Structure 1
């Protein structure tokens, strides 16, 4: 059975209000935006989220309300629950009025035979639908307000604190102030503290996907106006000798794309998609003994545009770097004679990723790192700060097996050394 979906927008105020009065986008829109597709014969489209009764995320087994289906699904078909799930059927078990279905990942080209999906969206903090940490959902909409996001989590012996406060300009959220801190304690006292604090602006996210005869023809994804100003600081004191890499799971704030804004009004997005705003941390410590210590603080800022374009058998990348500044670095370290120290800390934020049906297609992030070290022969103290723009892609969900790849678009570094350094 073929489904032809061409979105014409006639929404009542009651329907819009029932969707939470979302303000997902800015109104500067071109005429070719929208969702205009012909579904494949293997697609089962269900326009009712209540059809999903339960999900086992480990085995990817979905329990569906059988009354929502016109017929029993068979292996190889794809179930598309509008805005919620896109899964390929592996096996089906009928139990009363339920289907218990073992599923696998589905590609967009399994679902869409011909069509174009195009949007231009500026994600807003107030529309965050969930927070994940290390791939695990730790908060939903009930934990997020328009006043900001704040939460604390302990993982792997480290206390994580995240605070994001939206900044309003002419009644719209144009940027955010943030503070993120990771603290490791031994015996109740902090031995390592990493802090990132500053301001970030989310980019305009522009994407176009064209599928013809079940094959990907066009994929463009661009992020315009990525901007961050950040102060990084670290303080580490020896609590346990040796080298350590603190495990700091990535944090992602997911903003669902429920509608595509067009000049005619918002069009529903049946394919489950989201823009994920990620926060990733890296660290490496060499602390020889309890008398060792290291500190560093630096200020960095960066603006950039970056994106990807699929061209037949390859993906081309593009980037335009605006302002990049590294200022006000201070570093220090201390240790017993002959004992080396090396402490490094970095953060990638904002990490803007496009997610389709639970699979990340492309991402771009601004990254910042700082470090402080001490070495002997002769005594040398040094510190460094580095900033970069990096992106990556994996097109499996778009039906392409091109190997995923990442690329550093731009990178800058400054190093400060004491007089004795060789």
Structure 2
């Protein structure tokens, strides 16, 4: 056998080996949608309360004033300890407040309060949890975090219809069972319709349809000698596949329609999820929100668009003695074909423009009524017609946003919101620079 033939055979074997190695590697990579053993749900609540912390049963609370939510009326017969200024008052699973002053009226105690910090109520302790969310444990659906909507199952999922300002909303959510990685999944469909705006009328329809997976959630808080020494939270297996659609036409007068949808929240109390009584109210909120700006300046202006976006990630926030740090891990991402058209035959001096984004899911930690940290998968699509160039451009993006407000944990870091991962693409016509 000649050297040349031997070389050709070796070359073919080498190429076959490389191909096999690639296939083997791809087969053995971690599959974000495959089975994952997260282990059992678990929690730890080992705390030593401060000497001035007073815990009352939930039925001790008669009412809270609705002006600034600082005046608490208590049942005098349920309060066995005299309340003093600077006491930390915990009403089991309802509130945690610092006492400013109080007075007795008949069978009631009227208490003026202010916000309390967790490290004021707890001298030493560790609070931690790690669980897979259970949709049957949702106790409330909140809109704008101010009022609860009763769960309404129409036989084919949960449906909500409501109006805020000039927008009419229809939200449909249907439990889809369990994904391959063991996490609960929701089919979702949102429609928002606007038929009026300042300066005129625009008929605009915004939609989002697809599925979202509620991630495994864990967190840990450590307190030593009334100082919070560390805090961390992480979501694992967050996954959403959403098709965003929009259409807008001039109706009467033109103008700009701006939408900021108050967040729709599925609220799960930690105590219900884990079957243990917790005096301090701790909630894990799974939220969905929309935001849009639609500018249709003239009678001939129109805008339509559609794109499918996918994001699969693990994301976390960690706080020790240094500044808070976000820790993203991207398992999968996809930007589908970006289909759009935007135009204005009258060549209005103002550009036609659509900006549309959906946060789904947004996972928040809420302690005693305060959102201390949140992490969100955000899906975005924009389109613009520039004048006088007649440039048409569109943009789509998946990203991870997060924020924190850690004062209630005793940290002195400034409140912050940020984008800590983004991936997008732009398409534009030849008229664009």
- What is the TM-score when the length of structure 2 is the normalising length? 0.84
User: Match for residue 255 of structure 2?
Assistant: 242
Residue correspondence of structure 1 range 335-414 to structure 2 within 5 A: 335-339=344-348, 340-414=351-425
CA deviations 1:390-411 (Å, max 9, x no partner) are: 1111111111121122232211
Partner Cα distance (1:64, 1:146) in 2 = 41
Structure with greater strand percent: 1
CA deviations 1:286-343 (Å, max 9, x no partner) are: 2111221100100000011111111114222211011010002210122124223111
Q: CA RMSD in A?
A: 2.4
Q: CA deviation at 1:39?
A: 0.5
Secondary structure of the corresponding residue to residue 261 of structure 2: coil
Identify which range, 277-286 or 197-206, moves more after superposition.
Answer: 277-286
Paired positions, count: 389
The unaligned stretches of length 5 or more in structure 2 are: 1-36
User: Match for residue 158 of structure 1?
Assistant: 167
Q: CA deviation at 1:260?
A: 6.8
Partner Cα distance (2:179, 2:334) in 1 = 28
Identify which range, 281-290 or 109-118, moves more after superposition.
Answer: 281-290
Partner Cα distance (1:173, 1:148) in 2 = 18
Secondary structure of the corresponding residue to residue 210 of structure 2: strand
User: Match for residue 210 of structure 1?
Assistant: 222
User: Match for residue 38 of structure 1?
Assistant: 48
Compared CA separation, residues 343 and 30, structure 1 to 2 (3 A)? closer
Q: CA deviation at 1:190?
A: 7.4
User: Match for residue 293 of structure 2?
Assistant: 284
User: Match for residue 14 of structure 2?
Assistant: none
Residue correspondence of structure 1 range 8-407 to structure 2 within 5 A: 28-29=39-40, 33-46=43-56, 48-60=57-69, 61-140=71-150, 143=152, 148-169=157-178, 174-186=184-196, 191-239=203-251, 240-259=253-272, 261=274, 266-339=275-348, 340-407=351-418
CA deviations 1:108-162 (Å, max 9, x no partner) are: 111110111110022223322222222321414x546996421111011100111
Q: CA deviation at 1:186?
A: 4.5
Structure with greater helix percent: 2
Q: CA deviation at 1:170?
A: 9.1
Secondary structure of the corresponding residue to residue 338 of structure 2: strand
Partner Cα distance (1:147, 1:287) in 2 = 36
Identify which range, 240-249 or 155-164, moves more after superposition.
Answer: 240-249
Partner Cα distance (1:30, 1:283) in 2 = 38
Q: CA deviation at 1:248?
A: 2.6
Over alpha carbons, which structure has the higher Rg?
A: 2
CA contact (8 A) 1:125 1:146 kept: no
CA contact (8 A) 2:143 2:149 kept: no
Compared CA separation, residues 260 and 174, structure 1 to 2 (3 A)? closer
Partner Cα distance (2:85, 2:152) in 1 = 39
CA contact (8 A) 1:126 1:145 kept: no
CA deviations 1:340-398 (Å, max 9, x no partner) are: 31111111111100000011111000001112222234322222211101111111111
Partner Cα distance (2:222, 2:155) in 1 = 35
The unaligned stretches of length 5 or more in structure 1 are: 1-25
Secondary structure of the corresponding residue to residue 109 of structure 1: helix
